[in-house]
Amino acid sequence: MGWLKPFARAAGVPLEPEAAQYLAEVFGSDLAGIASELNKLAVLGGPLDRDSVQRVVGREPAGDSFAMLAAAAAGKAPEALAQLRRLLLGGEDPFRLLGAVVWQYSLIARCVALQAEMGRVTDAQAAQRLGVKPYPARKALEVARRLDERRIHAHLRRIQAADLALKQGRDPQSTLERLLVGLSV
């Protein structure tokens, strides 16, 4: 995203940071799509915030499984469900989504254990100890800081139940929705 603001400025489009972030979320690496939107936005003038850019572009950002789990862990079930729906509408396979939840909660659980062992843990320490890149370590720590050992065990049981429900052929969307609501308590 760091390249987008200077690129937009060179195109004569003064984007606020949140607006640039939105374009990056919606278009990812689609540079032609970003350039096309910047051409449209150039006629608006003035500093453009996220809302004004979103009205012109008219697209929802793709879902983000880290954001989905962070919202659930923060007790924000509606936000978590909105992320889930965007992921599913974007073509994400429910089984792969559950796999992502399992992987991320495995990291989160290991972060909870790491915090119990070490106290305050930095992103770099977690990344090194868990053998993952800094971004997933940071995201897992953000969620882990809101959980204790009792809650992480309850969440892992919910994930196990959702996995079993999917394998038994239950409706994937409602199974994942129930899981997210359960992870939000």
- Quick: pLDDT tens for 13-69: 888 888 888 888 778 777 888 888 888 888 887 788 888 888 888 877 666 777 888
- Which of 13, 29, 57 terminates a domain? The answer is 57
Same domain for 153 and 82: yes
Domain at 88, CATH number: 1.20.272.10
Q: How far apart are CA 126 and CA 52, in angstroms?
A: 38
Give the residue with greater pLDDT, 32 vs 106. Answer: 106
Same domain for 74 and 149: yes
Q: How far apart are CA 142 and CA 13, in angstroms?
A: 34
Q: pLDDT-based confidence at 159, cuts 50/70/90?
A: very high
Same domain for 82 and 163: yes
Structural domain harbouring 13: 4-57
Q: Who's near 97: CB < 8 A, 6+ residues apart?
A: 65, 84, 87, 88, 176
Alpha carbon 142 to chain centroid, angstroms? 12
**What is the number of domains present in the chain?**
2
Same domain for 166 and 112: yes
Same domain for 151 and 87: yes
Same domain for 52 and 130: no
Does the pLDDT of residue 153 top 80, yes or no?
yes
Same domain for 74 and 106: yes
Alpha carbon 1 to chain centroid, angstroms? 16
Query: How many Cβ atoms are within 10 Å of 137's Cβ, its own excluded?
Result: 26
Same domain for 73 and 53: no
Same domain for 86 and 51: no
The pLDDT of 155-169, averaged and rounded, is: 96
Same domain for 81 and 38: no
- Quick: pLDDT tens for 63-96: 677 788 888 888 899 999 998 998 888 788 899 8
